[in-house]
A and B are shown apart, each in its own frame.
Chain A
Amino acid sequence: MPPRGKTLEGGRRKGKTPRGFRALFARILVSDRFGHLTVPLFCILLTLFFSGILLLLLGKNPLVSFYSFLQGSGFAKKASYGNGVGMLSDFFAFLNICAPMLLAALAFIFGYRSGLFNIGIAGQMLLSGFLATIWVGYSDLPGILARPLVLLIGMGVGALLGGCVGFLKYRFNIHEVVSTIMINYIISYVTGFYINSRYVNQISRSSNVCSGASRLTFTKVNIAGYSCSVPLGIGIAVLAALIVQFILKRTVFGFEVRAVGSNRNAALYSGVSVGRQMVLSMMISGLLAGLAGVSYYLGYTNTIIPRELCSMGYDSIATALLGSSSPIGAVFASVLITIFQNGASYMSSTVGVAREIASVITGVLLLFSACGGYFRKRAEDYLKKLEDEEGGEKA
């Protein structure tokens, strides 16, 4: 990042701490108090900058495009609305995707904080969604029974899958990335087989839709005169974020999770039972992924496309990283990323850019947010270098 000329300029200055815009900027990124905020913000700005250039190259006005993302997600008013729908309807549609995204990001965070890289979120989502669909979604149970049951199945299946990965790691030392990728494929093909052979809808080529009573989204709810789809998942997701935050920060269990994630040897030395802790963390990560699964497959889509792992399972990793792998950060990160994903179709229709461009922008954002740690490291190195030069001059 720092070219040679600038570095020398910084080094020539007198005083204790290096000054100048560049140094100030670096210090903002490194700062203990604000770093977790400034680094993601920097990533977002970079994304807007690069996608702005991309849109300009396509001959479109980037500001109009960005605004149309907001309009598409119900954060700003569109030019016109259809009958019975309005900004509120768009906003609830947005919440429908945001909920599973947040839950999936939380799932990743919990594993990540204990030092485990859960890349199997997509599979855990799919299996719990699938089982909840065939066990409850296709039954005649009334809503009051069906919905809690769906949630329970989601959590249970996810936790079992996660626990299984944790156990494989603890007992046989199989790396969780390897086992989860394999399990993802197994789940994708096995569920695909069952959907295609038993539950397929001949027209849509996707699984039959679940009963309205089991669905976690209340459709066609009339709010202030607008027809909205109200997701139960968003409440669960925000609650989950708060609970995860509390567990990690304030409980003995959370401390031990972070301890194992930070230094496994030292955790062992301090008397933490590392194996138990790993299995438990993976179980909780899986449980959250399971919740993401049911709120995705029995809320947002209401059907399962056979042999397809949803990309959200992977996007959630970048979302988690954009949120500095903190649960509260993940709330904001998932809102932001969902705005891009959800607003894409409206953007494409108003600005006249292919829908895919929106995916490119999301991709750029995910790429930059995954680089957040790198930016921070660069800033740290730069500051260290400046300090060294200062020190060298003084001596």
Chain B
Amino acid sequence: MSLKGTDTRPDESVIVELRHITKRFPGIVANDDVTISVKKGEIYALLGENGAGKSTLMSMLYGMYEPDHGEIYVRGKKMHFRSPAEAAEENIGMVHQHFRLVENFTVGENIVLGVETVKRVGIFPVLSMKGAYDRIRELSKSFGLEVDPEDLISELGVSARQRVEIMKMLYREAEILIFDEPTAILTPQEVEALLKIMEELRRSGKTIILITHKIEEIRKVADRCAILRRGKLIDVLKVQDASTQEMANLMVGRNVVLNAEKPAPHFGETVLEVEKLCVRNEDRVQVVRGVSLKVRAGEIFAVAGVSGNGQTELADAIAGLRKAESGSIRLMGKDISRESIRERNGSGISYIPEDRQKYGLFLDFNLRSNLCLRRYFKAPFSRQGILNEAEAERYARDLVEKYDIRSGQGTETQVRSMSGGNQQKAIVGREIEEHSPLVIFVQPTRGLDMGAIENIHRQILRERERGAAILLISLELDEVMELADTIGVIYNGQLLKTADAGSLTSHEVGRYMMGVSG
């Protein structure tokens, strides 16, 4: 490894050192003998695909998990973090992918939560917020964070909430700041602003560890970059000296083979036709704005885009989970925009939802019930409203075998106890088995390990072979480039560009995703 020399020699400027870290979870080695050292005042990026073990590695530095093997050194001292609180004492802070804020508290209250200044009036302890607010304003000014301590969290957008999270760390005098995929939920402009804030933080001497799978961000701000693949440290590069291509190759670890395996397309009739579709979200904001698209049989139409640009709502509207405000949805020539969810399923839609635990599964039910979710109300699974358990069991066993769904106690297993990959296999199996003319996949490989991802990708291609029209919505540009026949880039609720996958490079798609048209 290129920086091995610096690892062994004691170095004054090294602030965090992880040595030979190994962490196992049931059935998976999340980190395998990883050694990295981070210097004070640098932006150190951890690059890797989903499931490469970046977040796990940092969770150990942050005290969320303890490593099975290996040692953690902070400022040259060996550490045994048992909780995030202990890590915080060493001035380590983390901005999580999912924010941890109290909605109906003000920004200031959220920031001081847990470290409040308390004055005493007589014998009564009284919360003193004024000093805290002044300090927040001061910090906000010096780092260009633009947060007003008196705003309510519930009134703030995503990027402002993220700034509050950053402020929370600064208020606790964190010196080592970990950002876990901070840009996944931001629009391009917000990403720019965030990267600027990071540079500002570096200038003031903070150390930043940036977890990401986006090479562009690393190129913009990071000094050094460690690349992880399947839990192993592949290399540590100086960002200045490395090319994007080089980093990408190291991250993926091989040339993209799936493209080669993908047979030539055979397009059939138009299956799905969406015209000028508009959808509002629960806050009554129009998030899908006049989207029109066509998906033919045997075609994978991939919607690419940065998260939060309306793609989930688009899929929900087609499947019926969300009402369309205007526009039409036609399935094989029939307008289905007024049909209920069950009628649409019957008309031929299978839907693999983005949030498999919130929508796709009943975690407290057994695998059998979950596998029969599309059929339990139909004969022979039930007659006159009475369930036929024997039939359900037979069908569930078939699916378990066919889709290689692994679980502790077969069809009796409570789905909650299954791994994410197997949960997803169960959903995909259940939906594919309907042989629907249209299959919608939303983020089908989110959070899965490499093996499961390949499995799901194979299933998607097999469906394409069968002649299904496939609408694939993914935030992973690589996934889109690998699988798509046609790419539609969604930005701010509109399809900015729709074109043949072959005619677009991933770079171009990336540009459209950032809202650059033409």
A interface, CB within 8 angstroms of B: 250-253, 255, 258-259, 262-263, 265-273, 392, 395
Contact = CB atoms under 8 A, between A and B. Distances in A.
A34 to B, nearest CB: 15
Contacts of B360: 266, 269
Contacts of A253: 385
A395 B342 contact: no
A387 to B, nearest CB: 10
B419 interface: no
Interface in B402-437: none
Contacts of A258: 365
B335 interface: no
A265 B358 contact: yes
A258 B363 CA distance: 12
B298 interface: no
A230 to B, nearest CB: 34
B385 A266 contact: no
Interface string B348-385: 00010100001111111100010001101100001001
Contacts of B216: none
Contacts of A392: 68
B387 interface: yes
B386 A252 contact: yes
Contacts of A272: 342
B340 A273 contact: yes
B258 interface: no
Given A250-B386, A252-B376, A263-B363, A268 B341 contact: yes
B85 interface: no
Nearest to B363: A263
B4 interface: no
22 contacts: A250-B387, A251-B382, A251-B385, A252-B377, A252-B382, A252-B385, A253-B385, A262-B362, A262-B364, A263-B361, A263-B364, A266-B358, A266-B362, A267-B362, A268-B321, A269-B341, A269-B351, A269-B353, A270-B341, A271-B345, A273-B342, A395-B69
Q: Which 3 pairs between the two chains have the least Cβ-Cβ distance?
A: A271-B342, A271-B341, A269-B359
B78 interface: no
B511 interface: no
Nearest to B387: A250
Nearest to B365: A262
Nearest to A395: B68
B343 to A, nearest CB: 8
Contacts of B341: 268-271
A151 B364 CA distance: 36
Given A250-B387, A269-B351, 19 more contacts: A252-B382, A252-B385, A255-B369, A255-B387, A259-B362, A262-B362, A262-B365, A266-B358, A266-B359, A268-B321, A269-B319, A269-B321, A269-B341, A269-B353, A270-B374, A271-B345, A273-B342, A392-B68, A395-B69
A252 B387 contact: yes
B24 interface: yes
A265 B385 CA distance: 23
A171 to B, nearest CB: 16
Contacts of A266: 358-362
Contacts of A273: 340, 342
A274 to B, nearest CB: 10
Nearest to A251: B385
Contacts of B369: 255
Contacts of B353: 269
Nearest to B374: A270
A395 B24 CA distance: 9
Contact of A263 (B351, B358, B376): B358
A259 B363 CA distance: 10
A25 B365 CA distance: 25
A255 B373 CA distance: 10
Most buried by A among B345, B353, B364, B385: B385
Contacts of B24: 395
Nearest to B319: A269
A134 to B, nearest CB: 37
A166 B351 CA distance: 29
Contacts of A265: 358-359
Contacts of A270: 341, 373-374
A268 B322 CA distance: 10
Contacts of A395: 24, 68-69
Given A263-B358, A265-B359, A269-B351, A251 B387 contact: yes
Contacts of B359: 265-266, 268-269
A272 B373 CA distance: 10
Contacts of A271: 340-342, 345
A58 B340 CA distance: 65
Contacts of A268: 321, 341, 359
A179 B142 CA distance: 50
A43 to B, nearest CB: 22
A344 B125 CA distance: 48
B386 A251 contact: yes
A385 to B, nearest CB: 13
Contacts of A269: 319, 321, 341, 351, 353, 359-360
Contacts of A255: 369, 376, 387
A261 to B, nearest CB: 9
Contacts of B69: 395
B284 to A, nearest CB: 15
B511 to A, nearest CB: 34
A13 to B, nearest CB: 20
